[in-house]
Amino acid sequence: MPATTPSPAVQAWRDHDTTARELPGMSLGRVPLGADPGDADRLWAMGARRAELDAAVDLATPGPAAARAAIERLSLVRDLTAQAVLVDWDLDLPADRADQLWKVLSHLQPPRTLTGPADADTALHAWRTRHYLCKLIWRRGPGFLQIRDRRWGDLRRFTADDPRYPAAIARLDRGAHRADVPADILEELASEHLVLRADDLTWWLPYRVTRWLQEAMAV
């Protein structure tokens, strides 16, 4: 029988605060997830405002099964970040790419622990102190989509009116094989660090904003 990847689960609470979450009624217990785009919305609707992943996001272990497991958990971190849910998670990166990869992922809620970078403590401190919501987002308008990227210290905006883009993003959202996405689109997205390669899968990095920190025109 082919090996299957266990779906992620989280421990969830109704409050961010470590002390408050110990109060009666604050814990939502262990919530098994379906590894689908509705998981973060379901957790929010349940009242979850803090969640703890069941396992580390491991991008250091090679192989398709490890890549699939990592992307499923990264997708959850990305989607919970978009919901402004505090996420407790751990991240393992391959040492040869870690110093670049943590910056690529720095729009996500900072992890509790980070392994892989040459100076992991400094990298994690930088991630935590420079992180804010809406750092890498995308949105759809009539006949176009726009991506806004502030991971590198300035605002970079990309607007695409090619009707193939929404379908490509839908495929990449939970991780797709390269052959499933038009090569020219994938090349363009990769050149701007808008996708992440994990073994034979490529994954969409930006999240679709659901909670603005300020007026939308200012983000």
Query: Above pLDDT 70, what percent of the chain?
Result: 91
pLDDT in tens, 91-113: 999 999 999 999 999 999 999 99
Euclidean distance between CA atoms 57 and 186, whole angstroms: 24
What confidence score (pLDDT) does residue 212 get? 55
Q: Provide the sign of the torsion angle of the four alpha carbons 6, 138, 214, 131, taken in this order.
A: positive
What confidence score (pLDDT) does residue 27 get? 95
What confidence score (pLDDT) does residue 79 get? 95
Per-residue pLDDT at 199 exceeds 90: yes
What confidence score (pLDDT) does residue 38 get? 86
Q: How far is CA 64 from CA 6, 69, 188, 203, in A?
A: 14, 9, 24, 13
Helices vs strands, H then E, count in the chain: 6, 14
Q: Position of tokens 């959202």? A: 173
**φ/ψ bin of 25: left (φ > 0), alpha (ψ from -120 to 50), beta (otherwise):** left
Per-residue pLDDT at 209 exceeds 90: no
Question: Any residues with CB less than 8 A from the CB of 52 and at least 6 apart, and which?
Answer: 10, 11, 12, 87, 88, 89
* Predicted confidence band of residue 21 (pLDDT cuts 50, 70, 90): confident
Per-residue pLDDT at 186 exceeds 80: yes
Q: Which of 149, 81, 148, 152 is CA-nearest to residue 111?
A: 81
Question: What are the two backbone dihedrals, phi and then psi, of residue 156, each rounded to the nearest 5 degrees?
Answer: -115, 125
What confidence score (pLDDT) does residue 188 get? 95
Q: Which of 9-23, 27-41, 59-73, 182-196 is the least confident region?
A: 27-41
Euclidean distance between CA atoms 157 and 167, whole angstroms: 20
pLDDT in tens, 119-165: 999 999 999 999 999 999 999 889 899 999 999 999 999 999 999 99
Q: Which of 109, 130, 99 is CA-nearest to residue 57?
A: 109
Question: What are the two backbone dihedrals, phi and then psi, of residue 5, each rounded to the nearest 5 degrees?
Answer: -95, 125
Q: Which of 198, 169, 193, 191 is CA-nearest to residue 105?
A: 193
